[in-house]
A and B are shown apart, each in its own frame.
Chain A
Amino acid sequence: MTSRSYVAGAALSAIGFALLVVAHYLGLFVAPREAMMGDVGRILYVHVPTAWGALLFYLGAFVAAIGSLWSGRRGWDAATTAMVEVGTVMTFLLLVQGSLWARPTWGTYWTWDPRLTTSAVLAAAFGVVLLLRRLIDQPARRATATAVATIVAFVDVPIVYFSVKWWNSLHQPVSSRQTIDSPMMQPLLIAAVAVLLLGIGLSVLRWRVELARLLAEEAAPDLPDAPAPLDLSGASGAPRG
C-alpha cells in the first residue's frame, strides 16, 4: 500500500523527467548554436534551470523554516529538510556544470564569477545545515537548529552575491538576455518548468521519507539510561584489529 504523497511525488518527478527530455532534445538538437559560445552554449538549457531551481528551493526551504520555527510542527521541519536537500543537490550540480562551462569559455575550470562563487558558498552553507541535522538527536532542538540555520543561510544569499560581484568587478559578462531569442527561449522555459516539477516531486518524496523517520523516531522507545557495563568485558567477542 502506497500513500498519496508517494504517488504524487513519483508522478511529479516522472512528469519533470519527461519534460526535461523534451527540453533537452530541443536544446541539444533543434535550437540554433549560440552566437558566441557555439555548441558549448547548449549547456545553458540545463545550467540556467538548475540555477533557478536551486534558488527557488532554497526560498521554499526558507519559508518552510519560518513555518517550522513558528508552528513547531514536524511537517514543516521535514519540508525544510527536504527542500534544503533538493536545493543543495541542485547547487552541487550547478557547481559542476558551471566549472565545465567555464573551461571551454574562459579557459579555466574556476573563475571568481559571482554566480559560480555564490553557488560554492551556498553549497557549503546549506550542506552544513544537513550535516548539523544529522548530529542532533533531540527532535525539538534539531528542528529549531535546522530552521534557524536555514533562515540565516538564506539571508546570506544576496549579500554573498553582491559582495562577490563588487569584489571581482572585472569579471566578464556572461552571455545572457540579449542573446537569447525565441528558438532558444522555448527549450529553456520548458526545462525550467521541468526542473520545477521534478524538484517539487523530489521534495515531496524526501519530505515523506523525513516525516516517516521522525514518526518512527518518536514511536521508538527511549534507550535504557545506563548501558550494561558487562558488554565491554570481551564476552561479545567483536573482532578487533
Chain B
Amino acid sequence: MSEVEVPAPLPRPAQPGLGSVLVGVFGGVLAVIRKDLLVEWRARAQVVALLGFAVVVLLLFSFAVGPDSMALARHAGGYLWLALLLSSTLLLARSMQNEVESGALEGLLLVPVPAASIFYGKALANTVLLVLVALVALPVDLAITGAAIVSPGVAVAVVVLGAAGVAAPGTFYAALTARVAGRQLLLPLLLFPLIVPALLGAVKATTLAMTGDPMGQVPSWLTLLLAFDLIYWSLCGLLFEKVVEA
C-alpha cells in the first residue's frame, strides 16, 4: 500500500462545541454590526441626508393633506410609517451597495462565520439606523400633525418592532437586487407588497399609541408585528446564504 503513512492523529482542531460556535456566530454578527455602523458614522453626511429626506417626506404629506389639523392628527401614524418606508429603501440599498462595490462582499464572505451572521449583522445595523430615523421623524411628525404620544412604551415597542420588520426583508432584498440593473426600482417593488402586514400593524399600533387604546387592541397588533419579525428574520437568515453565493 502506500508508504506515506499519515502520522498518528495530530491533535486535530477539535470539533468546536456548540458554545464556541455560538460565540463565533454572535461574534460575527457583532463585528458586522460594528463595521456597518462605523461605515455609516464615517459617512455621516449621508445619514443626515437620509434624516432630512424623512423629514421632507413628512412635510410633503402634510402639504398634500392641507391644513386640516383633525385629518393630519388622525393619520399621523400613517405618515410616520410611510416616511420611514420611503427612507428605508434608500438606506437599505446603500448598505448593500457598499458591500458590492469594490468587492467588499467577497472579502466578507471569506470570513469563517456563517453567511447568516453577516445577514443578521447587516439587518441589525439597518434596524438601528431605521430606529434612528424614526427617532428624528417622530417628533417632526408630532409637531406637524399636532398629534401626541399617549403611551410612550407602546410607541417605543412599535418603532423597534416595525423597524426590524422592514429591515430583515429589506436587507435580504437589497442583497438579492444588489447586482441587478434597475435595482433602485426593484427593491421597493419587491419590498413594499411584502411588508404590507408589518405596515398595517405598525400604523395601527402607532395610531393607538397616539389616541389611546380603549379597546385593548395594541397587544394583538404588536403580536402581529412580532410574528412577522420572527418569520422573516428566520426565513431571510436561512435563505441569505443562497443569495450571496449566487
What separation, in Å, do the CA atoms of A8 and B192 have in the docked complex? 38
Determine the chain A residues whose CB is within 8 A of the CB of B186 once the complex forms.
128, 131-132, 135
Residue in A closest to B201 when the chains form the complex, CB atoms: A163
What separation, in Å, do the CA atoms of A143 and B236 have in the docked complex? 17
Q: How many residues of A contact B (CB 8 A)?
A: 30
What separation, in Å, do the CA atoms of A126 and B182 have in the docked complex? 18
Distance in Å: Cβ of B190 to nearest Cβ of chain A: 5
Tell me whether A156 and B194 are in contact (CB under 8 A): yes
Tell me whether A153 and B181 are in contact (CB under 8 A): no
Determine the chain B residues whose CB is within 8 A of the CB of A122 once the complex forms.
193
Determine the chain A residues whose CB is within 8 A of the CB of B181 once the complex forms.
135
Mark A104-129 against chain B: 1 for CB-CB distance below 8 A, else 0: 00000000000000000110110010
**Which residues of chain B (174-213) have a CB below 8 Å from chain A?**
176-177, 179-182, 186, 189-190, 192-194, 196-197, 200-201, 204
- B35-43, B63-71, B147-155, B238-246: which lies at the A interface? B238-246
Tell me whether A153 and B196 are in contact (CB under 8 A): no
Distance in Å: Cβ of A197 to nearest Cβ of chain B: 30
Q: Does B108 contact A (CB under 8 A)?
A: no
- B86-94, B121-129, B156-164, B220-228: which lies at the A interface? B220-228
Tell me whether A144 and B227 are in contact (CB under 8 A): no
Tell me whether A160 and B239 are in contact (CB under 8 A): no
Determine the chain A residues whose CB is within 8 A of the CB of B243 once the complex forms.
144-145, 148
Determine the chain A residues whose CB is within 8 A of the CB of B100 once the complex forms.
none
Tell me whether B246 and A145 are in contact (CB under 8 A): yes
Q: Does A164 contact B (CB under 8 A)?
A: yes
Determine the chain A residues whose CB is within 8 A of the CB of B228 once the complex forms.
159
Tell me whether B196 and A121 are in contact (CB under 8 A): yes
Residue in A closest to B236 when the chains form the complex, CB atoms: A152
Determine the chain B residues whose CB is within 8 A of the CB of A144 once the complex forms.
242-243, 245-246
Determine the chain A residues whose CB is within 8 A of the CB of B221 once the complex forms.
166
Q: Does A149 contact B (CB under 8 A)?
A: yes
Distance in Å: Cβ of A198 to nearest Cβ of chain B: 26
- Which of B190, B201, B246 is most buried by chain A, counting CB atoms within 10 A of its CB? B246
| Residue in A69, A136, A163, A166 whose beta carbon sits within 8 Å of that of B242 in the complex | A69
Determine the chain B residues whose CB is within 8 A of the CB of A147 once the complex forms.
242
Q: Does B169 contact A (CB under 8 A)?
A: yes
Q: Does A167 contact B (CB under 8 A)?
A: yes
- Which of A132, A160, A163 is most buried by chain B, counting CB atoms within 10 A of its CB? A163
Q: Does A196 contact B (CB under 8 A)?
A: no
Tell me whether B242 and A141 are in contact (CB under 8 A): no
Tell me whether A148 and B180 are in contact (CB under 8 A): no
Determine the chain B residues whose CB is within 8 A of the CB of A166 once the complex forms.
220-221, 224
What separation, in Å, do the CA atoms of A136 and B246 have in the docked complex? 12
Tell me whether A141 and B196 are in contact (CB under 8 A): no
What separation, in Å, do the CA atoms of A131 and B193 have in the docked complex? 14
Residue in B closest to A132 when the chains form the complex, CB atoms: B186
Determine the chain A residues whose CB is within 8 A of the CB of B180 once the complex forms.
132, 135-136, 145
Mark A138-162 against chain B: 1 for CB-CB distance below 8 A, else 0: 0011011101110111011001101
**Assuming the A-B contacts A144-B243, A152-B169, A155-B235, are A160 and B197 also in contact, with contact meaning beta carbons closer than 8 angstroms in the complex?**
yes
What separation, in Å, do the CA atoms of A148 and B190 have in the docked complex? 12
Tell me whether B201 and A128 are in contact (CB under 8 A): no
Tell me whether B197 and A163 are in contact (CB under 8 A): yes
- Which of B197, B201, B243, B245 is most buried by chain A, counting CB atoms within 10 A of its CB? B197
Q: Does B23 contact A (CB under 8 A)?
A: no
Tell me whether B177 and A159 are in contact (CB under 8 A): no
Tell me whether B200 and A131 are in contact (CB under 8 A): no
Tell me whether B246 and A163 are in contact (CB under 8 A): no
Determine the chain B residues whose CB is within 8 A of the CB of A149 once the complex forms.
173, 176, 190
What separation, in Å, do the CA atoms of A153 and B246 have in the docked complex? 19
Q: Does B231 contact A (CB under 8 A)?
A: yes
8 pairs of residues in contact across A and B, judged by CB atoms under 8 Å: A135-B182, A136-B180, A144-B246, A149-B190, A151-B239, A156-B196, A156-B197, A159-B197
Q: A151-B235, A166-B220 are in contact. List 13 more A-B contacts (CB 8 A).
A: A122-B193, A128-B186, A132-B180, A141-B179, A144-B245, A145-B176, A145-B246, A151-B239, A152-B232, A153-B194, A156-B193, A164-B196, A166-B221
